[in-house]
Amino acid sequence: MQNAIQVKGLQKSYKQLHVLKGVDLEVERGSIFALLGSNGSGKTTIVEILTTLLKQDGGKATVNGFDVALKPDNVRQSISLTGQFAAIDEILTGRENLVMIARLRHLSNSSQVANDLLQRFGLTDAADRKASTYSGGMRRRLDIAMSLVGGSPLIFLDEPTTGLDPEARIEVWKMVKELAANGTTVFLTTQYLDEAEQLADRIAILHEGRIIVSGALAELKKLFPSAKIEYIEKQPTLEEIFLAIIGKKEKN
């Protein structure tokens, strides 16, 4: 079966700065792929090239079988992007945001689509409030809901949990897992190792403009010396304490 994303020798420079120096990667259909890298490593640049927002300087990238440089319109038909910052219209209500995107995707039943997504993302009560009144987690949920309008088979999530509190973060993780369970391919960038570990079928690490390792988590673990057995006292992490206290842990 053809891969959802196929990238070979991708290059991109901003003036003097050589951000991508020949990136190769493949994303299987229906999988969750996590691109790991520190801030400024070029994760967003890769997302921007794959979503046709930016043109590469060299190399070839194919998304859902379409070359991003040659067939950008076909690529856009088949993807959805949730950028690094929640790209919602704050002056519109949650419902209006969803209806707007549904109309722009030329769906005939835009209000029905909006209703369904509001329900699925637990935003029905807040549906007719301006998005500017939403909490960070609600914004992110609305943002992702907007990306699901039209049911694109491939979704890009650029650092979807950056700046979210632990609770909202777990909510986003749950959503991503649901998406993948329904067959959507998810391309995710993150700087949190545990996020990649939690979600991804395959992980690639971007460092100094190249993918230095990639593979399933189990494969990556094999790259390291075999585990040594040590006895240590397991202290709960602050996150676990926090979540236990506010009683949301069972949601995970």
- Quote the CA–CA distance of 252 and 64 in Å, as a whole number: 31
Classify 12 as helix, strand or coil.
strand
Please identify, using beta-carbon distances, which residue of 76 and 210 lies nearer to another protein. Answer: 76
How many angstroms separate the CA atoms of 178 and 172, rounded?
A: 10
Give the residue carrying structure tokens 């949920």. 141
| 109 CB-side CA count, 13 A | 6
H-type alpha helices, the chain:
43-50, 72-77, 94-104, 110-120, 136-148, 166-181, 193-199, 217-222, 238-245
Question: In sequence order, which residues have a C-beta less than 8 Å from that of residue 220 and are 6 or more positions away?
Answer: 203, 213
End-to-end CA distance of the chain: 32
Q: How far is the CB of 73 from another protein (least distance, A)?
A: 5
Q: Is 68 or 170 the residue whose CB approaches another protein more closely? A: 68
With H, G, I as helix, E, B as strand and everything else as coil, classify residue 231.
coil
Q: Can you give the binding site for another protein, defined by CB under 8 A?
A: 51-53, 73, 76-77, 79-81, 83-92, 96, 100-101, 103-106, 130, 146
CB of 103 to another protein, least distance (A): 5
Q: Which is nearer to another protein, 44 or 214 (CB)?
A: 44
By beta-carbon proximity to another protein, the closer residue of 35 and 146 is 146
The Cα–Cα gap between 176 and 192 comes to 15
Query: Which CB, 32 or 47, lies closer to another protein?
Result: 47
Q: Min. distance of Cβ 78 from another protein in angstroms?
A: 9
CB nearer another protein, residue 84 or residue 191: 84
**Least distance from C-beta 61 to another protein, angstroms?**
14
Minimum distance from CB of 246 to another protein (Å)? 30
Quote the least distance from Cβ 76 to another protein, whole Å.
4
Query: What is the number of alpha carbons within 13 Å of residue 201 lying toward its C-beta?
Result: 16
135, 125 contact by CB (below 8 A): no
- Closest distance between another protein and the C-beta of residue 48, in Å? 8
Task: Name the residue nearer to another protein (CB basis): 26 or 96.
Answer: 96
